[in-house]
Amino acid sequence: MEAVAKLRNCPMSARKMRLVVDLIRGKRVDEALNILKYTKKEAAAWLEKLLLSAISNWENKNDMLYSADEYDLFVKTVFSDEGTMLKRFRPAPHGRAHRIRKRTNHVTLIVENRIPIEEVEQEVEVAETTEE
């Protein structure tokens, strides 16, 4: 089962965001959180919040019955696309104007569990029957 979290209109260029996004793609969730915590880029703070949101979405999707720690969640997909661009003008010499592009990006992050949920339910049932 997978869960999605999206960050829209993040005030940073997609190119800068992709530098950090590439670090966490395919990693386990706890490993990705450690990488983001100790990365000294602004994008890491945005992605850490987004990853925590994706984990929470996964737990809510399962009606809070399952903990993310038990199912070995990993970052299945993460990508950064360009968003809208704010266009501004800055005065330049000789009465001219230069265009300033304030870029934004959209990040999509998908987490998935490696351990199927059905297998864990069966193990719990087997454990309960052996205790009796």
| Cα distance between residue 115 and residue 125, in whole Å | 16
Rg (CA), the chain: 21
Give, for 129, the enclosing helix (H) or strand (E).
helix 117-131
Prediction pTM value: 0.84
Give, for 33, the enclosing helix (H) or strand (E).
helix 29-37
**2-131: CATH number:** 3.90.470.10
What's the token pair of residue 101? 């592009």
Q: What is the pLDDT of residue 116?
A: 83
11 pLDDT exceeds 70? yes
Tens-place pLDDT, residues 108-123: 999 999 888 775 555 5
In one letter, which amino acid is 28? R
DSSP per position, 32-86 = HHHHHHT--SHHHHHHHHHHHHHHHHHHHHTTT-S-GGGGTEEEEEEEEEEEEEE
Tens-place pLDDT, residues 55-105: 999 999 988 777 888 888 999 999 999 999 999 999 999 999 999 999 999
Average pLDDT over residues 26-51: 96
